[in-house]
Chains A and B, each alone.
Chain A
Amino acid sequence: MSQNRREFLKKAGLGALAGLGAAAGLFPAFALEQTDMSSFTDKPVPGKVRWGMLIDTRKCLGNCTECIVRCHHDHNVPDFGKSKSEVKWIWKSGYENAFPTASTQFQNPEVLERQVLTLCNHCSEPPCTKACPTEATFKRWDGIVSIDYHRCIGCRFCMAACPYGSRSFNWEDPRPKVKELSTAYPTRMRGVVEKCNFCSERLVKGELPACVVSCAENALTFGDLNKPDSEIRKLLAANETMQRKPELGTLPSVFYII
C-alpha cells in the first residue's frame, strides 16, 4: 500500500468518529459497520483536511455518463423526468455554462464544445452555509459541505445563495421516483434540499468517491488539498487549472484541467 493510500485511509477513517462510527458505537444493534476505534488516535481538527477534486476535461470526453449514473444510483437520486423538478448531484454542462466568465473569444472550438462535469464545489467559503437559517447545511471539519436532511426546513435560501446551481430541492416525494433502490445511502423526503456530498459515506470506509472509481478514463483525482505532497496537489502544481467563478471568492475545492 502506498504512503498516499495509507494517509488517505487514515484521514477518511476519521470521519467515522463524527459520523457512522459514533452511531455504531452507541447503538450496536443498528451498527451499519463495525469500526475499529483503536486505529484512531487523533480527534478531527477542523480545517486540517480539505477534500478536493480535479477533473481532467481532456480525458472526460464524449457522451460518457458512467460517473453520473453510478453516483445517482448509489445515492438514490430520484428521476422526475422533467427539468423543473430535476434532482441532480453531478451532471454535464456546456463549457460556457460551467465557466460563464472564462474567455471564449476565438477559443479553440473543440474546447468550447466540451461537456464539463459540474457538481457541488465544496467551497472553502461557502455562501450556502452562510444563508442557511438552521445550520442544516454546514461545512464539516474535512471541508465537505454537508446537509442534515432531518433539520432542513426547505426554505431554499441555500439554492438562491449557491452561485453554481449545485443544489436541488425535492419538490415532490422522491422515493417513488428512485429507479433501483441502493442500500449505500439513505433516501430523502419531500421538501428538503440535497446535493453532492463528496461521498462522505464512502470516505468513512476509506473508499474513494463513487464517481472517481467509476471513471474508466481516470479523469477524476480526489485527495486532500491541504497536503502538499498529495497526488491532487502535485497535479494542480503541474497543470494549468481553473475553478468555476473564482471571482466570487467562494474558493471552490473542485478544479478543472482544460
Chain B
Amino acid sequence: MIEKALKGGRGYWTWVAFLLVVIGLGVTAYARQMTIGLGVTGMGRDISWGVYIAQFTFLVGVAASAVMLVLPYYLHNQKAFSKIVIVGEFLAVSAALMCMLFILADMGRPDRVLNVLLYPSPHSMVFWDVMVLNGYLLLNLVSGWAVLGAERKGVAPAPWVKALIYLSIPWAFSIHTVTAFLFAGLPGRHLWLTAVLAPRFLASAFAAGTAILILLTFVLKRFAKFDAGQEPRLKLAVLSSYAGLANLFFLGTEFFTAFYSNIPAHKHSLQYLFFGFEGHAPLVPFMWFSLITGIISVSVLLSPPLRRKNGALIAACIGLVVSIWIDKGMGLVFGGFVPTPLEAIVDYMPTATEISVTLGIWAIGLLVLTMLLKTAIAVKTQE
C-alpha cells in the first residue's frame, strides 16, 4: 500500500523535499552533537533537561489524543468519525515515533539504549514509558494499517484488529499517565511533585491533540481534496474545548495550592515562570502569552456560533496548540529545575544545534505522517 505515498503532484513533492532539507539540517546538527557531546546544547548541570525532553512530553500528549477519535467511533458508534479515525491513528504513530527520537537525542550514550531492555528495571518509570510508548506505536500502526488494508479490498477487518483497537483505548491513557509519573514521582522538584500532574497532562493532551486533528482535517481538505466534513470537526472542537477548560482549571488549582498554602518551595517555580524570581524572568512573557491565548482559544471553541466559522475555528485551534506547547513544551520542563536543589536560579537557553536537531525530528515525524496520510487518502478515495 505504501507505494501510494510515492505518487503525488508537484505540491506534494515540494513539501517532501522541504522536509528532507530540514531533516538534513537536523542530521548535521546531530552529528555535531555526537562528536562534541551534549555540551553543544544549552543544558547543563543545573538544567539537565531541555527542549528534547520538553518536546517529548508534548508529543506523548499528541499521540495519546488519537483516542479522542477512536473512543467515540468504536465505543459509541459515532459514524461521523469514520473517515478520519485513521488520521488520528497515524498521527499517533508519527507522534510516538518523534517521542522516541527525542529521547534518543537526549541520551548521553545512545549507543547503549538497549540497556533499558537488557536490564529491565520495573522500579524506574522510564522503563514503563519505553514499554507503553513502543506498544502504543505498534498498536496504532498495526490496527490502522490493517483497517486500511481491509478497506482497500472492500472487506471487513479481521476480528483481532478490533481487539487491538479496544486495547489501544486504555493504552492511550497509560502513555500519558506514565509520562506524568516520570516527573511527578521525583522528590524535591516541587513544580512536578503534584498529584494533579497526570490529570493535567491528559487534559492538555486531549485539548492540544484534538486541536491538531481539527487543523489536519483542514489541511487535508485544502491540499488533498479530502474533506472529513463539518460534523466531526465540530464534535472535535467541543471535545477540545472541554479538555482545554479542564487544563485551565487544573492550572488554577496549582496556583491556589501553592499560593494559599504559602509554602515557599511550592511557590518558587510558579513565581519563576509567571512573575520572575530573584530578578530572573526569561519565561514570563511566554507564560502569560500562553495563558491568555489559551483562555481566548478555549472561549472561542466553547461558543457554538464562533466555532462554526472556519476562520475562528482554525485560529482558536492554532492558539490552543501554541498555548499548550509553551506551557508543556517549555515551561513545565525548564521551570521544574528552577530553583535548583541548592536554591540557585539558572536560566536555560537552547542553542542553534539543539534547535536544529529538534526541527529535524519534527520534520521526520511530519514526513512519516505525510506518507501515511497520503496512503490512507489514496485508499479512501480509490485513486
CB-defined contacts of B113 to chain A, threshold 8 Å: 153
The reply to whether A170 and B340 form a contact with Cβ atoms under 8 Å apart is no
Task: Decide if B170 is an interface residue (CB 8 Å cutoff).
Answer: no
The reply to whether B343 and A96 form a contact with Cβ atoms under 8 Å apart is yes
CB-defined contacts of B183 to chain A, threshold 8 Å: 160
The reply to whether B126 and A133 form a contact with Cβ atoms under 8 Å apart is yes
Task: Decide if A245 is an interface residue (CB 8 Å cutoff).
Answer: yes
Considering the chains assembled together, what is the distance between the CA atoms of A86 and B45 in angstroms?
A: 6
Task: Decide if A180 is an interface residue (CB 8 Å cutoff).
Answer: no
CB-defined contacts of B39 to chain A, threshold 8 Å: 85, 171-172
The reply to whether A153 and B342 form a contact with Cβ atoms under 8 Å apart is no
The segment out of B104-112, B137-145, B222-230 that lies at the interface is B104-112
Interface centre among B109, B116, B340 (most CB of A within 10 A): B109
| Given A96-B343, A164-B342, A173-B37, 19 other A-B residues pairs in contact with their CB atoms under 8 A | A127-B188, A131-B124, A131-B125, A131-B185, A134-B115, A134-B121, A153-B107, A153-B116, A154-B107, A156-B108, A157-B182, A159-B48, A160-B48, A169-B108, A170-B108, A171-B39, A171-B44, A190-B108, A250-B187
One digit per residue, 1 when the CB lies within 8 angstroms of any chain B CB and 0 when it does not, for chain A 108-144 equals 0000000000100000000100111111100000000
One digit per residue, 1 when the CB lies within 8 angstroms of any chain B CB and 0 when it does not, for chain A 219-233 equals 000000000000000
Task: Decide if A196 is an interface residue (CB 8 Å cutoff).
Answer: no
Task: Decide if B64 is an interface residue (CB 8 Å cutoff).
Answer: no
Residue of B nearest to A157 (CB): B126
CB-defined contacts of A134 to chain B, threshold 8 Å: 112, 115-116, 118-119, 121
Task: Decide if B212 is an interface residue (CB 8 Å cutoff).
Answer: no
The binding surface of chain B is classed by DSSP as loop
Task: Decide if A155 is an interface residue (CB 8 Å cutoff).
Answer: yes
User: Which residues, 27 to 82 on B, are CB-close (under 8 Å) to A?
Assistant: 36-39, 43-46, 48-49
The reply to whether B37 and A248 form a contact with Cβ atoms under 8 Å apart is no
Task: Decide if A162 is an interface residue (CB 8 Å cutoff).
Answer: yes
How far is the CB of A241 from the nearest CB of chain B, in Å?
A: 20
The reply to whether A171 and B112 form a contact with Cβ atoms under 8 Å apart is no
Q: 8 closest A-B pairs (Cβ-Cβ)? A: A154-B108, A163-B188, A191-B108, A84-B44, A171-B39, A133-B126, A165-B341, A172-B39
CB-defined contacts of B36 to chain A, threshold 8 Å: 172
Task: Decide if B123 is an interface residue (CB 8 Å cutoff).
Answer: yes
Considering the chains assembled together, what is the distance between the CA atoms of A156 and B109 in angstroms?
A: 11
One digit per residue, 1 when the CB lies within 8 angstroms of any chain A CB and 0 when it does not, for chain B 200-223 equals 000000000000000000000000
Task: Decide if A215 is an interface residue (CB 8 Å cutoff).
Answer: no
Considering the chains assembled together, what is the distance between the CA atoms of A169 and B109 in angstroms?
A: 11
The binding surface of chain A is classed by DSSP as loop
Task: Decide if B147 is an interface residue (CB 8 Å cutoff).
Answer: no
The reply to whether A249 and B187 form a contact with Cβ atoms under 8 Å apart is yes
How far is the CB of B239 from the nearest CB of chain A, in Å?
A: 33
Task: Decide if B267 is an interface residue (CB 8 Å cutoff).
Answer: no
Task: Decide if A47 is an interface residue (CB 8 Å cutoff).
Answer: no
Considering the chains assembled together, what is the distance between the CA atoms of A154 and B103 in angstroms?
A: 11
CB-defined contacts of A190 to chain B, threshold 8 Å: 37, 108
Task: Decide if A161 is an interface residue (CB 8 Å cutoff).
Answer: yes
The reply to whether A156 and B45 form a contact with Cβ atoms under 8 Å apart is no
The reply to whether B108 and A155 form a contact with Cβ atoms under 8 Å apart is yes
Residue of B nearest to A249 (CB): B187
Residue of B nearest to A193 (CB): B108
With A85-B44, A173-B37 in contact, do A248 and B187 touch (Cβ < 8 Å)?
A: yes
Task: Decide if B233 is an interface residue (CB 8 Å cutoff).
Answer: no
CB-defined contacts of B45 to chain A, threshold 8 Å: 83-87, 165, 168-169
How far is the CB of A198 from the nearest CB of chain B, in Å?
A: 20
CB-defined contacts of B103 to chain A, threshold 8 Å: 155
Task: Decide if A234 is an interface residue (CB 8 Å cutoff).
Answer: no
Tell me the number of A-to-B contacts counted with CB atoms below 8 Å. Answer: 138
One digit per residue, 1 when the CB lies within 8 angstroms of any chain B CB and 0 when it does not, for chain A 82-106 equals 0111110000010011101100000
Considering the chains assembled together, what is the distance between the CA atoms of A89 and B339 in angstroms?
A: 20
The reply to whether A135 and B46 form a contact with Cβ atoms under 8 Å apart is no
How far is the CB of A123 from the nearest CB of chain B, in Å?
A: 10
Task: Decide if A151 is an interface residue (CB 8 Å cutoff).
Answer: yes
Task: Decide if A152 is an interface residue (CB 8 Å cutoff).
Answer: yes
Considering the chains assembled together, what is the distance between the CA atoms of A185 and B70 in angstroms?
A: 56
The reply to whether B109 and A192 form a contact with Cβ atoms under 8 Å apart is yes
How far is the CB of A116 from the nearest CB of chain B, in Å?
A: 10
CB-defined contacts of B115 to chain A, threshold 8 Å: 133-134, 136, 151, 153
Considering the chains assembled together, what is the distance between the CA atoms of A175 and B44 in angstroms?
A: 18
How far is the CB of B149 from the nearest CB of chain A, in Å?
A: 36
CB-defined contacts of A159 to chain B, threshold 8 Å: 48
The reply to whether A133 and B186 form a contact with Cβ atoms under 8 Å apart is no
Considering the chains assembled together, what is the distance between the CA atoms of A84 and B187 in angstroms?
A: 23
Considering the chains assembled together, what is the distance between the CA atoms of A22 and B75 in angstroms?
A: 60
How far is the CB of A148 from the nearest CB of chain B, in Å?
A: 10
The reply to whether A152 and B109 form a contact with Cβ atoms under 8 Å apart is yes
CB-defined contacts of A192 to chain B, threshold 8 Å: 108-109
The reply to whether A170 and B124 form a contact with Cβ atoms under 8 Å apart is no
What would 16 A/B residue contacts be, using CB atoms closer than 8 Å?
Answer: A130-B123, A133-B124, A134-B115, A135-B121, A153-B107, A153-B116, A154-B38, A155-B106, A155-B107, A157-B124, A160-B336, A165-B45, A165-B46, A169-B38, A171-B37, A248-B188
Which of B49, B112, B121, B340 lies in contact with A156, CB distance below 8 A? B49
Task: Decide if B328 is an interface residue (CB 8 Å cutoff).
Answer: no
CB-defined contacts of B265 to chain A, threshold 8 Å: 100-101
Considering the chains assembled together, what is the distance between the CA atoms of A94 and B108 in angstroms?
A: 31
CB-defined contacts of B130 to chain A, threshold 8 Å: 133
The reply to whether B37 and A170 form a contact with Cβ atoms under 8 Å apart is yes
User: Which residues, 108 to 167 on B, are CB-close (under 8 Å) to A?
Assistant: 108-110, 112-113, 115-116, 118-119, 121, 123-127, 130
